[in-house]
DNA sequence: CTAAATGCAAAACGTTTGCATATAG
DNA sequence: CTATATGCAAACGTTTTGCATTTAG
């Protein structure tokens, strides 16, 4: 599915929920489409949307992201550093999408794997807890930084 | 190991790092010892330390928590709600300590299990990433809320 | 005596809100 | 015409910082 079709799907999804695909919201989505591995902060997105719409306000970016998150179009990530990051939600990916975060350079990479299916069943059985989502992050040193450390 | 021994261990650990176990830091630790399943916010801890030390300042609580986190005495949790929560780090528990977060009532329960040892080995092999820590949280509905939902 | 730690108030930070204005069904 | 959405500035809550003062090796 190409980008224009993605946008068209999102437009329909918004309209189903009495919301419009305004130029501002479209700009936000385009930024996320063009940076789908970047895990952008609201500020990042704000600065990039200004290329399309110099008049856009930061509050509008936040409000757009809030709406799009509620409609499951974007996914909000939290690395515990005091700000949220955003990425497009892709169908089927949600449960198999985890992050590797380098504690030295901050680089974030991803891997997709159904690591937790069995674990969740076990927890449901043992803990009387009905799991609907999860968040799994690994911290450590990426290849680049490990090579740097060997030298230094 | 009883509480006084825990404190003595922490005192030694602090002194090894040119830091003192001040009354303020001790108060913070005592609050955490007495609430080890509470996942307290900095504000919670601040209010509780005031029982021991009415003159303590919020900034001191933050600075204490920052230091204790750096020394691995306390562990900082982030549920993405805009504030951090803190708990004592217990030896051997770190890697086997995960959280179940109820999306309805906000209750946080824990379970301890070495779920990720094999997974980490696999990632190290496949992704060229050296893992030093991880964070695994499950979201869903706790027993209480599920029973409430059946009725409602 | 000196370095570390504190309390207070102010600042900083990311985020949210109030409100008048603009946009579009 | 009326709902929805916007930009701006002000407000918000959490966390950090500057600085004069206190504490303890």
The CATH number that applies at residue A118 is 3.30.1490.190
Q: Does A80 lie in the same domain as A100?
A: no
Domain count, chain A: 2
Mean pLDDT for chain B overall: 84
Q: Does A86 lie in the same domain as A113?
A: no
Phi, psi of B36 (to 5 degrees): -70, -5
Q: Does A26 lie in the same domain as A60?
A: yes
Residue, of B3 and A10, whose pLDDT is higher: A10
Q: Best-predicted range by mean pLDDT among A69-83, B56-70, B137-151?
A: B56-70
- CB atoms A129 and B142 under 8 Å: yes
User: Is any Cβ of chain B less than 8 angstroms from the Cβ of A149?
Assistant: no
Q: Does B64 lie in the same domain as B1?
A: yes
Collect all residues of chain B within an 8 Å Cβ-Cβ radius of residue A128.
142-143
Query: What residues does A130 pair with on adjacent strands?
Result: B141
Q: Does B135 lie in the same domain as B72?
A: no
Q: Does B79 lie in the same domain as B145?
A: no
**pLDDT mean over B109-123:** 76
- Going residue by residue through chain A (152 aa), what tens digit of pLDDT does each one get? 678 888 999 999 999 999 999 999 999 999 999 985 668 999 999 999 999 999 999 999 999 999 999 998 998 888 778 899 998 886 445 556 788 887 667 677 877 777 677 778 777 777 788 887 788 888 877 887 777 655 43
Q: Does B110 lie in the same domain as B87?
A: no
- Domain that residue B4 falls in: 1-92
Q: How many CB atoms lie within 10 A of CB A129?
A: 23
User: Is any Cβ of chain A less than 8 angstroms from the Cβ of B80?
Assistant: yes
Q: Does A45 lie in the same domain as A111?
A: no
What pLDDT score was predicted for residue B137?
83
Q: Cβ of B59 < 7 Å from strand C? A: yes
Q: Does B67 lie in the same domain as B103?
A: no
Residue that is written with structure tokens 């929560």 in the block: B85
Model pTM?
0.74
B46, B58 contact by CB (below 8 A)? yes
Q: Which of B86, B103, B104, B140 to mutate to test the interface with A (most CBs of A within 10 A)?
A: B140
Q: Does A131 lie in the same domain as A117?
A: yes
What pLDDT score was predicted for residue B151?
42
Q: Does A85 lie in the same domain as A39?
A: yes
């Amino acid at each position: 599915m190409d980008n224009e079709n993605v946008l068209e799907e999102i437009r329909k999804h918004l309209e189903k929920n009495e919301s419009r695909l305004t130029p501002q919201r479209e700009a936000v989505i385009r930024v996320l489409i063009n940076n789908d591995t970047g895990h952008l902060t609201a500020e990042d997105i704000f600065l990039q949307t200004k290329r399309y719409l110099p008049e856009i306000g930061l509050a509008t970016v936040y409000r757009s992201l809030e709406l799009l998150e509620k409609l499951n179009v974007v996914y909000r990530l939290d690395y515990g550093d005091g700000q949220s990051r955003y990425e497009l939600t892709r169908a089927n990916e949600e449960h198999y999408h985890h992050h590797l975060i380098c504690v030295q350079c901050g680089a974030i990479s991803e891997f997709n794997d159904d690591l937790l299916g069995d674990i969740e069943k076990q927890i449901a059985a043992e803990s009387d807890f009905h799991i609907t989502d999860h968040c799994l992050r690994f911290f450590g040193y990426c290849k680049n930084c490990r090579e740097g450390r060997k030298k230094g």
